[in-house]
């Protein structure tokens, strides 16, 4: 084929490739420049970023003061920690009550003359009302953790209201006490949930120190994480369903005492 014919074919191929979203470059001059701003023609559009409540782990940045992207600044009666002056710190236990592990937590707290806050699941209270009653009888604070541990971000407002109502009723039936502190499962909540909780006359309570017990940490790691991060006013997240937390609890209480901190329920931090 003559040279003019070959050049004509090459020009046609180049035009077709360019029209199809491809490009041709001279490889003898090194790699093509990469744009720092324009996306690749074949790159998918970036996925939308969900604005959700994020709580940092104490093991990463101790002690932490988590903030909500949905509520900035935090709404009144939405608490992550209490007064930083003084010597008070709060231990909170989620996802109970459980007959065996909760009973052991109560025994350890009694031995150390400490009181805590228990955020209970309605379905667990329904299954084990006697365990819930034992928590109340020991003088601990009762909290509402929803019925089934479903994320509030997956619930319609009417569903969330029903979960909180049913859990409060179950706790009241089992203990004679209606809870007025509420914690969302996973620490995540939409902005609309704040109005629902406060409309019930309840306080929304998160935490400032994560023990990492739900991440599978062993007892020594849990105790070290909590004690190293702890300072006055902190609210510590634990779970009375986790036996590692039960085993860590004596170390935690002893370590907090060495730091001059006194364990109280959340409502007594101020």
The set of catalytic residues is: 94, 239
Question: Could you tell me if 119 and 94 are in contact, meaning their C-beta atoms sit under 8 angstroms apart?
Answer: yes
CA distance 170 to 1: 89
State the Cα–Cα distance between residues 50 and 125, nearest whole angstrom.
32
For residues 164 and 166, what is the distance between their CA atoms, to the nearest angstrom? 6
For 91, phi then psi, to 5°, come to -100, 135
Q: What residue spans of 73-218 are helical by DSSP H?
A: 99-111, 122-127, 129-137, 157-175, 191-199
Q: How far apart are CA 25 and CA 221, in angstroms?
A: 56
User: Smallest Cα–Cα separation from 130: which of 103, 94, 148?
Assistant: 103
Give me the DSSP letters along 12-49.
Answer: HHHHHHHHTT-----GGG-SPP--SSSPPTTSPPPPPP
Phi, psi of 262 (to 5 degrees): -110, 130
Question: Is 57 within 8 Å of 210 (Cβ atoms)?
Answer: yes
Site of tokens 């003061």: 65
CA 164 to chain centre: 18
């Amino acid at each position: 084929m003559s040279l003019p014919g070959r050049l004509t074919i090459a020009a046609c191929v180049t035009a077709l490739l360019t029209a199809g979203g491809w490009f041709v470059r001279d490889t003898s001059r090194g790699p093509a420049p990469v744009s720092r701003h324009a996306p690749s023609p074949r790159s998918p559009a970036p996925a939308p970023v969900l604005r959700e409540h994020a709580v940092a782990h104490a093991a990463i940045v101790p002690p932490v003061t988590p903030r909500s992207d949905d509520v900035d600044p935090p709404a009144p009666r939405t608490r992550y920690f209490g007064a930083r002056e003084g010597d008070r710190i709060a231990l909170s236990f989620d996802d109970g009550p459980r007959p065996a592990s909760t009973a052991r937590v109560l025994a350890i707290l009694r031995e150390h003359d400490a009181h805590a806050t228990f955020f209970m699941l309605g379905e667990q209270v329904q299954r084990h009302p006697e365990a819930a009653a034992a928590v109340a009888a020991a003088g601990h604070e009762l909290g509402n953790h929803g019925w089934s541990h479903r994320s509030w971000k997956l619930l319609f407002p009417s569903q969330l209201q029903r979960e909180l109502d049913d859990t409060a009723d179950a706790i009241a039936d089992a203990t004679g006490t209606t809870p007025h502190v509420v914690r969302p499962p996973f620490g995540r909540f939409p902005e609309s949930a704040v109005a629902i909780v406060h409309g019930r006359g309840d306080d929304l309570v998160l935490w400032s120190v994560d023990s990492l017990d739900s991440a599978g940490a062993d007892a020594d790691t849990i105790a070290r994480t909590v004690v190293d991060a702890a300072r006055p006013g902190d609210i510590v997240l634990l779970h009375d369903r986790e036996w590692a937390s039960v085993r860590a609890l004596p170390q935690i209480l002893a370590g907090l005492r060495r730091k001059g901190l006194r364990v109280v329920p959340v409502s007594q931090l101020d």
